[in-house]
Amino acid sequence: MNRIERKEIVVEAAKLFEEEVLDTAPDIPREELCSMVDDFIYYQTDDLSKDEAHAVVKETCVLHKR
């Protein structure tokens, strides 16, 4: 995956990353998946705080979603 250069596309990038992980590991525990999405968007987006990353995860990777 490439760096996320604009905050405006973070939600879409998080959803795409989540789908890619689920394609390769469909039985991954939800908590682990959400943690991976959180880390991915935090470390791949410039000027994104941990709180902002957590907010995106709540929006895109809700723990009870499955």
Q: Residue by residue, what is the 3-state secondary structure of 32-59?
A: HHHHHHHHHHHHHECCCCHHHHHHHHHH
Please indicate, yes or no, if residue 37 is contained in any of the structural domains: yes
- Domain of residue 29, residue span: 7-60
Each residue's pLDDT tens digit, 6-50? 888 899 999 999 999 999 999 999 999 999 999 999 999 988 899
Q: Within the chain, what is the greatest distance between any pair of CA atoms?
A: 32
The total of structural domains in the chain comes to: 1
Q: Assess if residue 27 is contained within a domain.
A: yes
- Residue 3 pLDDT > 80: yes
> Quick one: DSSP state of residue 4?
B
Instruction: Report which DSSP code applies to 61.
Output: S
